Structures are given as C-alpha cells and as structure tokens.
Amino acid sequence: MAEPLRIALAGLGTVGTGVIELLAANRSTIERRAGRPLEIVAVNARDRARNRGVDLSPYAWVDDMQAMAQRGDVDVVLELVGGSDGPALTLARAALDAGKAFVTANKAMIAHHGLALAEQAALRGVPLKFEAAVAGGIPVVKGLREGAAANRIERIYGILNGTCNYILSEMEHTGADFGEMLKAAQEKGYAEADPTFDIEGVDAAHKLAILAAIGFGARVDFANVEATGIGEVRAADITQAGALGYVIRLVGIASLDESADEARLLQRVRPCLVARGHPLAAVTGPTNAVVAEGNFSGQLLFQGAGAGAGPTASAVVADLIDIARGDSGAPFSVPVEQLEQFSPADPGNRMGRDYIRFTVNDRPGVLAEITAAMRDAEVSIESLIQRGRDHAGGEVLVAMVTHEGPERCVTKALDLLNGSPSLTAAPLVMPILAD
Ligand SMILES: NC(=O)c1ccc[n+]([C@@H]2O[C@H](COP(=O)([O-])OP(=O)(O)OC[C@H]3O[C@@H](n4cnc5c(N)ncnc54)[C@H](OP(=O)(O)O)[C@@H]3O)[C@@H](O)[C@H]2O)c1
C-alpha cells in the first residue's frame, strides 16, 4: 500500500466538516483515484468543545493552528477558516514556508494575497491549490487551467454569487422588492446575517479576480475589479427588463481590451440584463455558472452549486487528490514569474448596449431634458418606457435601452443630468450582456 497523504485541517465549520464526511463516505473511490489513502492527521478550530456532528476522535487536536505547519507528520495543510488576512494568511505563509502543500477554499485570501502566496509556493516548490475558492463545487479552476489550457481565452463571465442570484431570481418570480427577498434569503440560509460582501458584489469580485488571473495569465488584481451590487435593483427594473425580453443577473465579467498598443484588463461585477435565451438566464436560485470563451473551444459553460458543505468539499478533495497523485502545476496556469501585469482598462471604451433607469419628478419637460442629454452625449435610444407613478409623491420611473455605443457616452449623458432637480435619485445603469 502506498504511503497516505497526511492532512492537517484548520477550520471545522460548514466546509471543514463536509470534507471529513466526504473523505469517510467516498474513502475507497478516492483511494483508487489518488493511488493512495488520504488521511487527516490533525485538526483545529476555535472551540474544542463544540459538537460538530462528526467524529473527531481519530485526529490529533491542535490548539495552536499555526503549529500545524510545523508538524513532521503532515504533508498538506488545508485551510478552511476564512478571512483575507488574520490566522488564515498566517497559516498559509507558515505552511508554505515549512514546505507543505497548501489547499484552501478562501477566495478573499487568494484574491488579496494569491500572487504572493503563489510566489512563495514556487520558491519552495510546493503546490498551492484553491479550486473551492471559485464557485464552490464547480471545477472551473481546473477546467480553465487544464481542460481549456490550449485556448486563448477571450472573455470570462458568470454568476459568481449564489446569494445575489437567489435574491434576483426570486424577485423575478414573486415580484417582491430587494429588501423582502434579502430577508427571505437570510431565513433560508442563503445569505449571511451580515450580507454586505455578497450583495455589494465583493464576494463575486474576489472570484472574478481569481478567474481573470487564470484565464488571462494575469497577476491577480483584485484592487482593480469594479464592483456594483444589487441593492439598487427594484422590482420595477425586473418588470421592465422582463417586458423587453431580459432577466437581471449579477454578472462578473473579465475581458482584455486590445484596442490600444498595450492590452488592458477589464474586470467588473455589475447587475446586467441577460437575454432570456442566454444560458445564464436559466441559472436561478443559489446556483453559480461561469462561461469561458476559448478561441478554439468556443463557449464553455460551467454550472453547479456555488456553495454548501458537499459541493465545496468536493472541490477541496479534488485538490487533495491532485496533490496525492503528484499533479501540481502553476496555481494561476502559468508560472508566477510569467504572469502579466495588465493595467486596468478604461470602461468608457466598452462598446455595448445599456439599460438606464431614471426616477424623476412627474412634471412636464422631464423626458425632454433626459432625451436632450442623451442626444448631446451621442447616446442613441433604442426603446424608452415611461411608467406611471411608482411611489407616492409624484415620482415616476423612466427606463430606456440604448443602441450599441461606447460606454463613455452614457457616462457623459449622466454627467450632464447630474444635479438636475428633475431626478429624484441617481440613475441606475445596467449593461446588457452581449452574446
Ligand atoms: N460555506 C460555503 O459554502 C463555502 C463555499 C466556498 C468557499 N467557502 C470558503 O471556505 C472557508 C470556510 O467557510 P465555512 O463556511 O466552512 O466557514 P465556517 O462554517 O464559519 O467555519 C469556519 C471554521 O473556522 C474556525 N475558525 C474561525 N476563526 C478561527 C480562529 N481565529 N482560529 C481558529 N479557528 C477559527 C471556526 O471555528 P469554530 O467552529 O470553533 O468557531 C470554524 O470551525 C471560507 O474561506 C469560505 O469563504 C465556503
């Protein structure tokens, strides 16, 4: 029998206990595929006394998480604690420094520190793996690094946050407003008590930065992901979009702008209008989906559960199996020293169509003022919908869809209208996802 791969597991919450359960349930399948057993030898969490519904008696309990990195009987340190910095990062550094392989599901840490950790891993010649950090159970990191490795990737985009997707698809289904559906998501366990990271698009931005790095061979650049959440999306927007043949989804999009001498990277998370026939329109509830467009593969769609104990554990254990087999490879698909440093692209260069919603005072001349600003900024309007009063107090919603044009023109039109007493709130712009 081959020597087991010995694992130290930090974090015994949703994912940590899921990994213990999966390793027990699929022991023989995993052993056959890995060519050797996968064995947890040591565990750590904050509260030793907590009943976690799994038997921890076979494992050594380590009080000090950092001590795991030093253990001679450990080959891989598995971090399932969370947080971009703090103990998770200290553990990652200590593990790599000690020459241990390191596996994590921590998107926040990889988005912020993935590059430095990849440099450290390369220096020590040890694997760094994070399949579960992007879209939970969906093997999209592997799909891009390995399955699509022969392609030049032209665009990557997807639904990267299950909480937002649940809220938006339920708003569509029930006609309810954002606040009501956020509450429902919290009651169903799809949203945290503090949902800020999810609904403001930060969680999706973490995942997008990682996907962009892998897809484009880029240095991870979370600081330049522009993120807009779903808090401003109203039930009326969903109705308007529906009338025009679209649904609304929070979409993370990464693409290279090659219009200038030097390619630049555009990374954005925005609520977008998605045509009903597009594969992402059919992605409802807490599901995640990623589309990668390869120059030879064509459109690839990865879809599945973006969170949850089972799916996330599935991705974590896939990484452990790779390590057990001796498969390694560069964490971000090309050797870390060869990752390119792209400057951020100017979003004004984006050519596309947009949905723009204004909330205005119901008085004569308002519509003329808006259309004049559009004309002066050279924005061509494809369709315009003026709805009746939406709220008490005479406020009216005006929504429009633009013809294709540079985004800078839309920005200019909104600048012209900025401060207008006719507008009762800042307009909401949602790009229409191009096919
Ligand atoms: N949940 C998902 O569906 C999902 C999906 C994809 C990725 N992830 C990622 O997976 C990681 C773990 O998520 P989770 O949902 O399993 O989290 P969780 O349920 O909150 O579990 C976190 C674990 O870390 C331990 N912990 C927290 N702070 C600690 C500290 N200072 N020292 C020692 N232990 C500490 C906790 O100990 P106690 O139990 O003793 O408090 C707990 O066992 C995160 O990076 C998350 O982003 C999660």
Where a domain ends, among 305, 322, 339? 305
Number of domains observed in the structure of the chain? 3
What is the tens place of the pLDDT at every residue in 237-257? Answer: 999 999 999 999 999 999 999
pLDDT of residue 4: 98
- Can you give the CATH number for the domain in which 355 is found? 3.30.70.260
What is the tens place of the pLDDT at every residue in 186-238? Answer: 998 888 888 999 999 999 999 999 999 999 999 999 999 999 999 999 999 99
- Do 120 and 71 belong together in one domain? yes
pLDDT of residue 388: 67
With respect to residue 166, please indicate whether it lies within any of the assigned structural domains: yes
- Can you give the CATH number for the domain in which 177 is found? 3.30.360.10
pLDDT of residue 192: 83
With respect to residue 105, please indicate whether it lies within any of the assigned structural domains: yes
Atom of ligand 1 nearest to the CA of 307: 3
Low-confidence residues of the chain, pLDDT below 50?
Answer: none
With respect to residue 317, please indicate whether it lies within any of the assigned structural domains: no
Where a domain ends, among 99, 116, 133? 133
3-state SS, one letter per residue, for 217-280? CECCCHHHCEECCCCCCCHHHHHHHHHCCEEEEEEEEEEEECCCCCCEEEEEEEEEEEECCCHH
- Residue the block writes with tokens 């900025």: 418
Q: List binding-site positions for NADPH.
A: 107
- Do 191 and 116 belong together in one domain? no
With respect to residue 319, please indicate whether it lies within any of the assigned structural domains: no
Is 331's C-beta closer than 6 angstroms to any atom of ligand 1?
no
Count other C-beta atoms under 10 Å from residue 105's C-beta.
30
- Do 358 and 378 belong together in one domain? yes
Is 82's C-beta closer than 6 angstroms to any atom of ligand 1?
yes
- Do 290 and 389 belong together in one domain? no
With respect to residue 170, please indicate whether it lies within any of the assigned structural domains: yes
Is 106's C-beta closer than 6 angstroms to any atom of ligand 1?
yes
Where a domain ends, among 91, 115, 133? 133
Would you call 142 a catalytic residue per the annotation? no
Q: How many angstroms separate the CA atoms of 274 and 282, rounded?
A: 10
Domain that holds residue 169: 140-305
Distance 35 CA to ligand 1 centre (A): 29
What is the tens place of the pLDDT at every residue in 158-177? Answer: 999 999 999 999 999 999 99
Count other C-beta atoms under 10 Å from residue 328's C-beta.
15
- Can you give the CATH number for the domain in which 43 is found? 3.40.50.720
- Do 104 and 161 belong together in one domain? no
Q: Which long-range contacts (CB under 8 A, 24 or more apart) does 28-37 make?
A: 30/317, 30/321, 33/321, 34/5, 34/320, 34/321, 34/324, 34/325, 35/2, 35/324, 35/325, 36/1, 36/2, 36/3, 36/4, 36/5, 36/324, 37/1, 37/2, 37/4, 37/5
Q: How far is CA 165 from CA 87, 179, 239, 284, in A?
A: 30, 14, 16, 6
Q: List binding-site positions for NADP(+).
A: 10-17
- Do 148 and 119 belong together in one domain? no
Residue 267: beta bridge partners?
Answer: 254
Q: How far is CA 78 from CA 75, 240, 323, 414, in A?
A: 10, 47, 12, 48
- Do 301 and 202 belong together in one domain? yes
pLDDT of residue 112: 98
pLDDT of residue 189: 87
- Do 164 and 297 belong together in one domain? yes
- Do 27 and 106 belong together in one domain? yes
- Do 153 and 245 belong together in one domain? yes
Distance 11 CA to ligand 1 centre (A): 5
With respect to residue 311, please indicate whether it lies within any of the assigned structural domains: no
- Do 124 and 144 belong together in one domain? no
With respect to residue 346, please indicate whether it lies within any of the assigned structural domains: no
Question: What does pTM read for this prediction?
Answer: 0.96
- Do 254 and 276 belong together in one domain? yes
- The sheet that has 101-104: what strands, in order across it? 60-61, 38-44, 5-10, 76-79, 101-104, 128-129
Distance 251 CA to ligand 1 centre (A): 26
With respect to residue 429, please indicate whether it lies within any of the assigned structural domains: yes
Q: In a mutational test of the pocket of ligand 1, which residue from 46, 56, 141, 206 has the highest number of ligand atoms less than 8 Å from its CB? A: 46
Identify which of 281, 300, 137 has the alpha carbon closest to the alpha carbon of residue 215. Answer: 300
Atom of ligand 1 nearest to the CA of 308: 3
